[in-house]
Amino acid sequence: MLGDSISAAYGINLEEGWVTLLAARIEQERLPYTVVNASISGETSAGGLRRLPALLETHQPGIVIIELGGNDGLRGYPIGQLQSNLHDMITLSEESEAQVLLLPMEIPPNFGKFYTDAFRASFQNAIEGSQAVLGDFPLKDVALEAALMQGDGIHPTAVAQPIILESVWQNLSKLLP
């Protein structure tokens, strides 16, 4: 799991985060996987790309879940850079024989329609020519529910984590045996 604060359980106990809940679900279903959460709050796609080769070598994963891009968008980074970084992470993962699930992010509309639309499209564009699966926006069922979001309006609460897990699981389960 290569992500940012959404997957690093920002503002809540790590044990309550959706990635920890995923590990418990994998164990409960007796699937032959160990979940490694390499998420860092504040991570950008460039940071993930820099760290990925060492993570691939160390863990030799069968599946890589990428949940990055939100911080790129919030900082107004160039869309081409985001798309290229995501594509390169997918390529590196597939070259190491891992399947890839890319979880797209969303940004607030205050960046303007052009940037917001280009940001959204960058995830679909990044998987072109690969075997990667584009998942659903993991916060789709929580982002607009104030009771499920922390006071900053960006990070989900502990109560939202099982909902996020279910969203991710719907896509991840297609990659599992």
Q: Residue with structure tokens 């996987």?
A: 33
State the number of CA atoms in the 13 A half-sphere of 133 facing the CB.
Answer: 18
Radius of gyration of the chain (CA): 15
- Residue 135 phi, psi (nearest 5): -80, -170
Tell me, yes or no, if 7 is annotated catalytic.
Answer: no
Please tell me which residue in 7, 87, 93, 155 is annotated as part of the active site.
155
Please name the residues in contact with 73: beta carbons below 8 A apart, sequence gap of 6 or more: 82, 105, 107, 111, 115, 119
Checking phi first, is residue 11 left (phi over 0); if not, alpha (psi -120 to 50) or beta?
Answer: left
- Count other C-beta atoms under 10 Å from residue 1's C-beta: 24
DSSP per-residue string spanning 105-130: ----GGG-HHHHHHHHHHHHHHHTTS
Which is the catalytic residue, given 5, 7, 39, 122? 5
152 labelled catalytic = yes
Active site residues: 5, 152, 155
